[in-house]
Amino acid sequence: MEETDYRPSIPIVDDAQAHAEMPKEGSPPKILIVDDVPENLFVLQKILKKLDCEVIKASSGNEALTHILDHEFALIILDVQMPEMDGYEVADILQSDDKTGNIPIIFVTAIDRDDAKEMKGYGTGAVDFIFKPLNEFILVSKVKVFLESHKIKSGLEDIVAQRTYALSKSNQDLKDQIEKNIKFANDLEKARSYLANVINSISSSLISVDEQCNIIDLNEAAYTVCGLEKAEVQGKPLAEVFPFYGELAADVSSAITSDSPIEKNRTTIYIAGKLHINNFAIYPLKFSKIKGAVIRVDDVTERAKIDDMVIQTEKMLSIGDLATGMATEINTPLAGIIQNVQVINNRLNNKLPANERAAEESGTSFEAIQKYMENRGILRMMDAVLESGKRATQIVDNMISFSRKSEGSGEKEDLADIIDKTIELAYSDYNLTHTCDFKAIEIEKSYQEDMPHVLCQTNKMQQVVLNILKNAVQAMAEKTDYGDEKKRLVVRLETTSDNYAAITIQDNGPGMEADVAKKIFEPFFTTKKVGAGLGLAISYYIISDDHNGLLDVETEPGKGAALIIKLPLT
């Protein structure tokens, strides 16, 4: 029968698995007994049961190798003479593997002592020989020595394993703690970065100071106000970095001392010669042993202007209502004056029977009365009174129309009539007639004959045209040298090829630079010393939002300016 080289591999356990769990203690050592004779196995097992060990039996070399794969043995008692695979072959296989080469082997043989065979056994890994028939005392004594040696070795291995486990666990705990610290540091840095971004995105200026009112830190808005870099402000006095906030030092001290916030609203200050209205809030700050405060500065200049504009608008609305009431009241006596003048004119001019009869009864003739009236210019004066009355009536009607509130989207209106009425209204404007001499300005009108009516709100269109007229007249007043030319306004009304009705109001004033022309429709922008800079901004809103139209400017320095209103025809 052919011999088979049966050399099973022994499984390897890596360090990570070995350190993953705490090593188990208290399990008895295992002894493998190998013999092809069952009676011999029985005897061996009976003898070894007296010792503190676990005995596992194998009846062949192959079975022994299988058990070695599944168990860890302290000692192998191996019969030399076995069929198929003898004890030397089994020992040789075990000796060839690093994991099993150190297991002590006691050979059991029935052959007389033979030096050559003993040398062969020792060469394959045997540590001792026992000869049959077995001597129980000798066998137990030798096994005890090996078990004691195994116990010492196992104890040392357990200690090493336990310390290795403890060290591994300590290293793992340290690694986990480091990872936690890194994550905490990253989270802290993210939170710090997020908070810094939030603070820097605030439009308010934030200034943190210590108890002596020296600057600790600023946000981006505050850096913009002071115009300095971080290295130039830290540790510097507040009054040095923000000279216009210097008076806050006393309030900072008061807030820290009282541990209560202090607010100062609508404070007027000047930064680089420009007026600003600021709200200040000072909050006491305590951190560890450090005392200080945080100053929040809100620039409410534009808000204050808007508030003032709202107040002014409310006043104007009140004045508008008052003007409407007054105009209505004026209409009554004015109508009586015109009516009576018309009656007087009729009785003096018309040769009616009643007029002739009254003249004869008075001792004169109707012709003599007429001649007297003509010679003294009374009839001409009467016509002037009537004309003035009608003009006054027209002004009152224009005022009532202008002050009337708009409702809905308007109606189809005659733009030429709106322009004419607004010009008449401008003649009665005190500021235009007395400060800018509006009546001295030559007005040239050019209206398209077949001009269609356009959907609009009459009073709002009057407001826009009046605002443009005022701006044009005030601009012309700034120009001092006209030479032989007169101050002139050209008002054109026409349709355009892109289906708009266009109103152009052109002056021959000083004109504007391009950078100024870009800003004239912005709220609060003005080049005049007096005025809120809202007239053209409101006009732009009325045309673009209320009428879905366009408002533009064409100008060159020294060549006047033309404001162009475009309203859609459909």
Banded pLDDT at 221 (limits 50, 70, 90): confident
The predicted model gives 122-132 an average pLDDT of 67
Q: What is the pLDDT of residue 340?
A: 86
Q: What is the pLDDT of residue 475?
A: 85
pLDDT tens track for 552-567: 999 888 888 999 999 9
The predicted model gives 454-476 an average pLDDT of 87
Q: What is the pLDDT of residue 245?
A: 83
The predicted model gives 202-230 an average pLDDT of 84
The predicted model gives 428-446 an average pLDDT of 75
pLDDT at 540 over 70: yes
pLDDT > 90 in the chain, percent: 9
Which runs of E-coded beta strand occur in 17-96? Answer: 30-34, 54-58, 75-79
Q: What is the pLDDT of residue 112?
A: 55
Q: What is the pLDDT of residue 568?
A: 93
Helix, strand or coil, per DSSP, at residue 524: coil
Q: Are 504 and 490 in contact (CB under 8 A)?
A: yes
pLDDT tens track for 255-289: 888 888 988 888 888 887 777 888 888 888 877 67
pLDDT at 231 over 70: yes
Q: What is the pLDDT of residue 81?
A: 82
Q: What is the pTM of this model?
A: 0.39
Q: What is the pLDDT of residue 265?
A: 86
Banded pLDDT at 133 (limits 50, 70, 90): confident
pLDDT at 501 over 90: yes
pLDDT tens track for 146-184: 887 777 777 676 777 778 888 888 888 888 888 888 888
List 160's β-bridge partners, or say none. none
Q: Which amino acid is at 560?
A: G
Banded pLDDT at 408 (limits 50, 70, 90): low
Alpha helices in 96-135 (DSSP H): 115-123
Please give the Cα distance from 193 to 187 (Å, whole number). Answer: 10
Q: What is the pLDDT of residue 317?
A: 57
Q: Count each helix (H run) and each strand (E run) in the chain, helices first.
A: 19, 17
Q: What is the pLDDT of residue 10?
A: 39
pLDDT tens track for 280-335: 888 888 776 778 888 888 888 877 777 766 665 565 555 556 666 777 777 788 88
Q: What is the pLDDT of residue 24?
A: 52
pLDDT tens track for 36-92: 888 888 888 888 887 888 888 888 888 888 888 888 888 888 888 888 888 888 888
pLDDT at 529 over 60: no
The predicted model gives 141-146 an average pLDDT of 81
Q: What is the pLDDT of residue 82?
A: 86
Q: Are 59 and 85 in contact (CB under 8 A)?
A: no
Average pLDDT value for the chain: 79
pLDDT tens track for 42-51: 888 888 887 8
Q: Which residue has the tokens 């929040």?
A: 296
pLDDT > 70 in the chain, percent: 82
Please give the Cα distance from 356 to 431 (Å, whole number). Answer: 50
- Output the DSSP codes for 344-395: HHHHHHS--HHHHHHHHHTTS-HHHHHHHHHHHTHHHHHHHHHHHHHHHHHH
Please give the Cα distance from 358 to 113 (Å, whole number). Answer: 186
- Determine phi and psi for 201, rounding to 5 degrees: -85, -10
For residues 157, 162, 164 and 167, what is the CA-based torsion angle, rounded to 10 degrees?
A: -160
Q: In this predicted structure, which of 19-23, 323-327, 421-425 has the lowest mean pLDDT?
A: 19-23
Contacts (Cβ under 8 Å, ≥6 apart) of 135: none
Q: What is the pLDDT of residue 99?
A: 79
Helix, strand or coil, per DSSP, at residue 67: helix
Which H/E stretch holds residue 456? strand 454-456
Distance of CA 381 to the CA centre of its chain: 74
Q: Is the peptide bond before 83 cis (omega within 30 degrees of 0)?
A: no
Please state, as a whole number, how many other Cβ atoms lie within 10 Å of the Cβ of residue 451.
14
